[in-house]
Amino acid sequence: MLRTIRLYLRLLGTHLRASLEYEADFWLMALGAAMTQVAGFVFIAAVFLRVPDINGWTFWTVALLFGMVGFSEGVINLFFEGMWWLADLKHNGELDYLLVRPYPVALQALSSQVGLNGLGNLLTGGALIVAGLVNTDIDWSPATAVVAVLLFLGAMAARVGIMLACNATTFWLEGPTSMFAFAVHQVGDLARYPLAIYPVVLKGLLGVVLPFAFVSFFPVSWLTGEGGTGWLGLLTPLVGVYCVVLAAWVFRRGLTRYESAGN
Amino acid sequence: MRPYLALTRAMLRSALRYRITFLMGMFGMFFQLIALFAVWRVLLDEREIGGFGWAEMRPYLLIGFTCGMIVSSFTDWRMAYRIVEGTVSLDLVKPVDYQFARFAEIVGGIAAEVGVAVVLWAGVLVFTGPIALPPPELLALFALSMLLVVPLKFLFSYVAGLGCFWTHHYNGIRWTQQAVVAVLSGMMIPLALLPSWLATTAAWLPFAGVASTPGLIFIGRVDAAEAARLVAVQAFWIVVLWLGARLAFRGAVKQLTVHGG
Amino acid sequence: MALVEARGLTKVFRRPDKAPGLKGALRQLVVRRFTEKVAVDHVDLAIDAGEAVAYVGPNGAGKSTTVKLLSGILVPTAGEVRVGGVEPHRDRIANAHRIGVLFGQRTQLWWDLPVADSLDVLRDMYGIDRATYTRRLKRFDEVLELGEILPSLGRRLSLGQRMRADLAAALIHGPEVVYLDEPTIGLDIAVKDRVRGFLRSLRDEGTTIMLTSHDLRDIEDVCRRLVIIDGGRIIFDGALTALKDEFARERILHVETAADVPLAAVQASLAGATVTAGDSPRRFSVRFNRFAMTAGQVVAALAGHAELVDFHVDEPSIEDVVRRVYSGELMAR
């Protein structure tokens, strides 16, 4: 297990080193990602200048939602960006060599790229989370802190799992792009707002089918007591594990369909 | 004109060939509209904010989203890719004007995007009820201002794309450009509702022309005279940016020769 | 039991039928139609430890698909594969330690890394200890002259350099079985010779080798056993020399005589052979089956007509034989 993780970081590190060759690009990517987060946030901040709350959610609790979504995005960019290249790897037959090496194929594919925009997303997302926690009235105790950390990890796992599963559908689709996963990624941005504002169909989509609500809404709801669905937040670690296991299963099933392009 | 029309047709064909990819991309963007609708629907439930009620906000957001959707999927990626890969040198030796050729490609993509926009409008009208039309003189100005959105948005992408002559990846530039446009065009929130310093900044920049202007005209927030002035501002920026882009292009091509393509 | 064993191995690819135009695309969304293509059709194959097997066939015959099935990249539609008792696609990690794979058309080196770093990442992945790693690298360096290319970035290598580095990458963990798909494609003669020499030494050390190539020189240099596949089926499996016995029965004797000879008379004296005229009246050729008559008998018969000034016997090369097998001229089995 430890060896698996060490090797994963090493694979990531090699790509990171290579991409840092272009320093100007690094800063532009980080800036672009940060600006995208900020743009969404400027909107919501401007709204809160005019209204005190959205469905009972105050400015800083919504900031927490934004922060969780942005941070999870950054986690994917920085550590699992390879998932967005899966369609490409499949289409060009580049999975061949990964399949004959003694290391899980999914991990080799996930570590095959590093998204430098991740840093921008982690920083802005992290800043929003910290600011949100500082400015929200939370009754901290050691137990709360432990649970909060567990929920946070579960939330990140849920996001990574959902997006990996969606990217792995490329084995059933034709073509060299992850357009389906891209569309789902946009659905994920809905989790930046309180779930209550959506019609019931979308609530079902975000809560059950593509459980993005567990990336932000439910864990934040448990921590802040906002929204009255806190108990669901406690399921976050379970949902996280479920999403990752599901993704691994979809990936493995997909791999048996791999046809290896070319001759 | 013939070579440019050929580029337009080629781009339309390519949009149709990759229709699944294209439609999926549009489908993904659609969720941005859903989020905006949901947030504003709740905010404007039985109240007005800064003079905007749900009756005005619904068409305003829809227009802003439509403006965001068109001129979004084609030329800039292709152009950036060719610059980064160095194949742009093949474009440069063709007997066409580089800038106008890229514009011609955009027009081909728009044909496909407008198709999707029509379906989208039909869907929104069916599910959320009809939308009141403005008086005829404002409607005419609205149509004119929508037309001007195309070259204006093209110029934003084009200038951003030229940035690739200096960098090796387009993503960072594109995201920054899109983020700035998202805030300062009034696509998500009317500029009047922004804090005054931000609203003033937006007023002095060209970005309002690609969402706020047609939106405000359509919902009748401005009278005909003010609408005409806003359309003139759009036109002014198109001229300035078109000429500015030519200057930037000259500098950009020098970069190419320095690095040897 | 053989080290590599395939029984009834079959791979069927499904390709969607694409009707042209928008209408076709819409119909495709509703009713999906497929064409099935059988790439590998009930292949039985057993390779013993230490054998060097050449696997040849025309383009699209199913060579690469077989290699991908044997190495666990593809999952068979039917039949089974076992390598040392392990099913490659089920137990990838165990399998990966035993096998080495090289696809000549594609590199496994990391594009952005120096070759040395790529090899070191693989060292880490396979868990090879430093001492063994250094020893192997030194050996590769002796045969493949890796030294000069180790510091170069993957993307800056020439084709020949890349192939040498890729060979090292495929073999750095000392695999028992090596699958090499076109390891000399696009290389110049000097590099080809070097690669062949390397493969021979590998074979002599007891590594099991399966080699596919369009260059039959590779095969004659390295392998004693030949398997020919066509249309997804194995049409020949045996020793290289047996192939010649089976298909290359024909010999052609080219003769030059001191005086003009009527060809009809020659033909009459050589029943069962075919006589054809050459570019002058004193030159002609006799085509005969070497199992029906010997070259000595032919020469003796000819000597009765006129004095022989010169003659030589043409024996088909392995290349000719294989080419004729591909073209369907020679029917096997």
- Answer whether residue A262 is part of any domain: no
**Residue A80: predicted pLDDT:** 97
Which are the contacts of A80, defined by CB distance < 8 A and separation ≥ 6? A110, A111, A160, A163, A164
Closest CA relative to residue A116, chosen from A29, A182, A204, A175: A29
Q: In this structure, are residues A68 and A136 in contact, taking their beta carbons and an 8 Å threshold?
A: no
Q: Which domain holds residue A171?
A: 2-255
Q: Are strands C4-16 and C34-47 parallel, antiparallel or unpaired?
A: antiparallel
- Quick one: residue C8, left, alpha or beta (phi over 0 = left, psi -120 to 50 = alpha)? left
Q: Where is average pLDDT lowest: B97-101, B236-240, C148-152, C318-322?
A: C318-322
Distance from CA of B246 to the nearest CA of C (A): 35
- Answer whether residue A59 is part of any domain: yes
**Residue B151: predicted pLDDT:** 94
Distance of CA C70 to the CA centre of its chain: 15
Distance from CA of B146 to the nearest CA of C (A): 29
What are the pLDDT digits (tens) for A123-135?
999 999 999 999 9
d(CA B63, CA B28): 17
CA dihedral for A139, A144, A148, A154, sign (positive or negative): negative
Q: Residue A229 — pLDDT band, cuts 50, 70, 90? A: confident
Element (H, E) at A3: helix A2-19
Q: In this structure, are residues B150 and B70 in contact, taking their beta carbons and an 8 Å threshold?
A: yes
Element (H, E) at C178: strand C177-181
Angle at C224 between CA C222 and CA C229, to 5 degrees: 95
Between positions 16 and 55 of B, the ones with CB within 8 A of C are 16, 19-20
What are the pLDDT digits (tens) for C198-228?
999 999 999 999 999 888 888 888 998 999 9
Q: Are strands C283-289 and C250-257 parallel, antiparallel or unpaired?
A: antiparallel
Distance from CA of A71 to the nearest CA of C (A): 28
Would you say residue B31 has pLDDT above 50? yes
Mean of pLDDT values over B153-173? 87
d(CA C210, CA C212): 7
d(CA A122, CA A68): 10
Distance from CA of C22 to the nearest CA of B (A): 8
More confident residue, A156 or B72: A156
Q: CA nearest A5 in C: which residue?
A: C125
Would you say residue C162 has pLDDT above 50? yes
Three-state SS string over A129-146 comes to HHHHHHHCCCCCCHHHHH
What are the pLDDT digits (tens) for A8-24?
999 999 888 877 777 77
Number of compact structural domains in chain A: 1
Percent of chain A scored above 70 by pLDDT? Answer: 99
In the numeric block, the tokens 């880490």 are attached to C124
CATH superfamily of C4-245: P-loop containing nucleotide triphosphate hydrolases (3.40.50.300)
Distance of CA C107 to the CA centre of its chain: 19
Q: Residue B137 — pLDDT band, cuts 50, 70, 90? A: very high
What are the pLDDT digits (tens) for C73-118?
999 999 999 999 999 999 999 999 999 999 998 999 988 889 999 9
In the numeric block, the tokens 């020679």 are attached to C330
What are the pLDDT digits (tens) for A173-190?
877 778 889 899 999 999
Order of strands across the sheet with C308-314?
A: C274-277, C283-289, C250-257, C308-314
Would you say residue A55 has pLDDT above 80? yes
Q: Where is average pLDDT lowest: B61-70, C241-250, C263-272?
A: C241-250
- Does the beta-carbon distance from C92 to A99 stay under 8 Å? yes
Residue of B39, B40, B177, B196 best to disrupt the A interface, most CBs of A under 10 A: B39
- Answer whether residue A29 is part of any domain: yes
Q: Residue C24 — pLDDT band, cuts 50, 70, 90? A: low
- Answer whether residue A60 is part of any domain: yes
Q: Residue A101 — pLDDT band, cuts 50, 70, 90? A: very high
Percent of chain A scored above 90 by pLDDT? Answer: 69
- Does the beta-carbon distance from A258 to C124 stay under 8 Å? no
Q: Answer yes or no: is the ipTM higher than 0.90.
A: no
Cα dihedral C21→C22→C25→C26 (10° resolution): -150
Task: Spell out the domain ranges in chain C.
Answer: 4-245, 249-315
What are the pLDDT digits (tens) for C55-72?
998 888 899 999 999 999
Q: Hey, which residues does A257 pair with through a beta bridge? A: none
d(CA C316, CA C322): 10
**Residue B260: predicted pLDDT:** 45
What are the pLDDT digits (tens) for A70-85?
999 999 999 999 999 9
- Does the beta-carbon distance from C74 to A263 stay under 8 Å? no
**Residue C333: predicted pLDDT:** 45
Mean of pLDDT values over B184-195? 93
- Does the beta-carbon distance from A180 to B179 stay under 8 Å? no
Would you say residue C307 has pLDDT above 90? no
Chain C environment of A260 (Cβ under 8 Å): 68, 73-74
Question: Is residue A36 within 8 angstroms of chain C, CB to CB?
Answer: no
Q: In this structure, are residues C16 and C28 in contact, taking their beta carbons and an 8 Å threshold?
A: yes
Check if CATH label 3.30.70 holds for domain C249-315: yes
**Residue C263: predicted pLDDT:** 82
Q: In this structure, are residues C309 and C258 in contact, taking their beta carbons and an 8 Å threshold?
A: yes
DSSP three-state, residue A22 = coil
Identify which of A29, A186, A199 has the shortest CB distance to residue B28: A186
**Residue B257: predicted pLDDT:** 60
Distance from CA of C331 to the nearest CA of B (A): 45
Q: What is the DSSP string of C103-149?
A: ETTS--S-TTSBHHHHHHHHHHHHT--HHHHHHHHHHHHHHH--TTT
d(CA A207, CA C116): 48
**Residue B261: predicted pLDDT:** 40
Angle at B178 between CA B172 and CA B183, to 5 degrees: 130
Which one-letter amino acid corresponds to residue B190?
Answer: P
Q: What is the mean pLDDT of chain C?
A: 87
**In degrees rounded to 5, what are phi and psi of residue A200?**
-60, -35
Question: Is residue B180 within 8 angstroms of chain A, CB to CB?
Answer: yes
Element (H, E) at B229: helix B224-259
- Answer whether residue A236 is part of any domain: yes
What is the greatest pairwise CA distance in chain C? 80
- Does the beta-carbon distance from A179 to B24 stay under 8 Å? yes
- Does the beta-carbon distance from A50 to B49 stay under 8 Å? yes
Chains in contact with B via at least 3 Cβ–Cβ pairs below 8 Å: A, C
Identify which of A22, A43, A177 has the shortest CB distance to residue B188: A43
- Answer whether residue A260 is part of any domain: no
Would you say residue C237 has pLDDT above 60? yes
- Does the beta-carbon distance from C74 to A260 stay under 8 Å? yes
